Structure 1
Amino acid sequence: MAARRGRIGWAMFLFFLVMPVIEVIVIIMVGRRIGAWQTLGLLVLWSVVGAWLVKRQWRTAWRGLRTALQTGKMPARELTDAALVLIGGALLFLPGFVTDVLGLLLVLPFTRPLARPLLQAAVARRVLAGSGFAMQATETTYDSRPPHQQQDGRAAPGNAAGEEIIEGEIVDD
């Protein structure tokens, strides 16, 4: 596990080191081709269009998530879409053409399904590796006895003798 974190750490370090260099190179190339002011205008236009698109797609993803939760459906796809829109939005807000293209691919509804399996596989690997909720669920033991009763039927030490414990659930209407 430590080796994996080390590899991911190095990959992120290289990404954050190399990506700005690539962005500057691309911006200079575009600037030489169409001019400095046009390049600046194009970057600003990408930001405005990206912000509008992220806002629109976020609403759609949020609405889908709420609908799934209200119907009792497991919202795996909706959560993945919301995460991809969030990541894509962050990439769109970064200045540069390469991050804008990557962000656009994650935000657009017809290209998002291409990235969805990658994110789901990454999350599944993390969960199966023992991080997150899966580890907690495997360590929990389930017992049919009420939490205030020991194996021999006596009250648990935290329960003073004679205290009545009423089990139930709270329902918000």
Structure 2
Amino acid sequence: MPAALFVTYLVVELLALIGLAQLTGIGWALLILVAISGVGLVLLGRQGRRVFDRFRRASRGEVTAESALADGVIVATGSVLLFVPGLVTGVLGLLALFPPTRALMRPLLEKIATRRFGPLPSFAPSPYRGMVVDADSGDVVDGAVVGQWYDDGHTPGRRAIGPA
């Protein structure tokens, strides 16, 4: 199966290069092939920084984790396609790195991943409230804490620490 896939890849890439060379000439076809790689490398640098920024924003809860992850997967796929030699893979890699086409692909990838794996947990940090000493209710006797409880922000109500 992998051999048949590789042969199909070779045939498609050769046909695309031969077709472009017949249309524009061999010199222009090679120049277009090199230009696709150059533009792809510039786009990869910019979009890679945007993806890492999106991951940071997802960790702060500003964007959804699914959106950030989908963006990362699309950019990673585009970068791999750029480094695979060929005209068709280069164009597909450019399309994956180009922000407007990525914005079109992102919701589809989010739906597929959510349907397949379920929703991702939020990366946003929950408010940590830690140990709370309730001195207003008169639970402090001679400097010893009598009423002490813990609130982690995830469970409703208070959990007692020690004697309650």
Q: TM-score, normalised by structure 1?
A: 0.59
**Distance in 1 between residues matched to 2:99 and 2:45, nearest whole Å:** 13
Unmatched runs of 5 consecutive residues or more in structure 2: 121-151, 153-164
1:118 positional shift: 3.2
Q: What value does the CA root-mean-square deviation take over the aligned residues?
A: 2.7
- Which of 10, 15, 22 in structure 2 is aligned with 1:20? 10
Taking the aligned partners of 1:44 and 1:72, their CA distance within structure 2 comes to 38
**Cα offset, 1:66, TM superposition:** 0.8
| Counterpart in the other structure of 1:66 | 56
Q: Sequence identity of aligned pairs in percent?
A: 36
2:74 to 72, 84, 87: 84
| Residue 108 (structure 1) aligned with residue 98 (structure 2) | yes
Classify 1:34/1:121 alpha carbon distance in 2 versus 1 (closer, same or farther; 3 Å): same
Write the deviation string for residues 108-135 of structure 1: whole angstroms up to 9, x where unpaired: 111112212332243234426xxxx9xx
User: Is residue 50–residue 93 contact of structure 1 (8 Å, CA) maintained in 2?
Assistant: no
Q: Closer, same or farther in 2 for the Cα pair 1:92/1:64, shift >3 Å? A: same
Tell me how far apart the structure 2 counterparts of residues 110 and 21 of structure 1 sit (CA, whole Å).
30
Range 66-75 or range 27-36, more displaced: 66-75
If each structure's strand is expressed as a fraction of its own residues, which one has the higher value?
Answer: 2
Q: Is the 8 A contact 1:51 1:93 kept in 2?
A: no
- TM-score normalised over the length of structure 2: 0.62
* Number of aligned residue pairs: 121
Higher mean C-alpha deviation, range 51-60 or range 26-35 = 26-35
